[in-house]
Amino acid sequence: MSKTLLTVVLWLCCITVQAQSKDSVTVNFKLFFDHKPLQLKQSYVTVNKDTVTISTFKCYVSDIAIQYTDQTVYHEKNSHHLLDSEIPNSMQIRFPQVKEKVISKVIFKIGIDSITNTSGALSGDLDPVKGMYWAWQSGYINLKIEGQSPSCKTRKQQFQFHLGGYLPPYNALRTKVIPVTIANDNTVNIGMDLAVFLAEVNLAITPSVMTPGKTAMELADISAKMFYSE
């Protein structure tokens, strides 16, 4: 290949990549502990002086909408995404971007809605093999946090929080609105700080929640506080 032809090919590739980036926006979900990037199985200390290590974080975000400064809204169809700390690519979600518009908010639900829960186990991120489905009576697990702490009086000092439930009065689905002040390079960053969640949990008394109910509802409220514009 001649140098001239190679230059033309590289130029065309560059133009294509630039066009793609302008036509899409990527929402990055980033895990933190006390404002520092979370490392799985690394020891951290909570505000309650509990030493903890996180081994698992999984969370459904669904019904995602992007609102622009002109008040128009883009709603994603069939919007169900499983964020998994062990799968980095799952933490990035790409959407079409409307040219000449500025994003003002990202709106989403933490968990899976009742209609999807009653539709039966589905495929893709909703496939039961992902480990986020209880049974038809209880439906999907909206959020899962697992780890270890000497504060837990359990086998292997484990804590397990599997939050879910879609039937009243224990519907654990929560809605989150993230204001967007800066969207550089068609990217929106959303932080999730697990220190915020564990700051409001007494691991010695409540090391495990595995079913829908009052405690799951309370922890679902706390979990929504973890999400913020990063």
Q: pLDDT tens-digit profile of 88-145? A: 999 999 998 777 788 999 999 999 999 999 987 689 999 999 999 998 778 999 999 9
Beta bridge partners of 209: 161
Amino acid 185: pLDDT: 63
pTM metric for this prediction:
0.87
Neighbours of 101 (CB within 10 A): 15
Whether pLDDT at 199 is above 80: yes
**Total domains in the fold of the chain:** 1
List the single range of 39-43, 100-104, 160-164 with lowest mean pLDDT.
100-104
Contact 73, 65 (CB under 8 A): yes
Q: Which two tokens stand for residue 22?
A: 């302008």
Task: Pick 13 or 205 by higher pLDDT.
Answer: 205
Average of per-residue pLDDT values in the chain? 89
Amino acid 182: pLDDT: 66
User: Which residue segment(s) compose the domain that 37 sits in?
Assistant: 3-229
pLDDT digits (tens, 9 = 90+) for 47-95: 999 999 999 999 999 999 999 999 999 999 999 999 999 999 999 999 9
Distance of CA 85 to the CA centre of its chain: 9
Whole-angstrom distance, CA of residue 206 vs CA of residue 199: 13
Whether pLDDT at 158 is above 90: yes
Whether pLDDT at 9 is above 80: no
Q: How many CA atoms lie within 13 A of 151 on its CB side?
A: 21
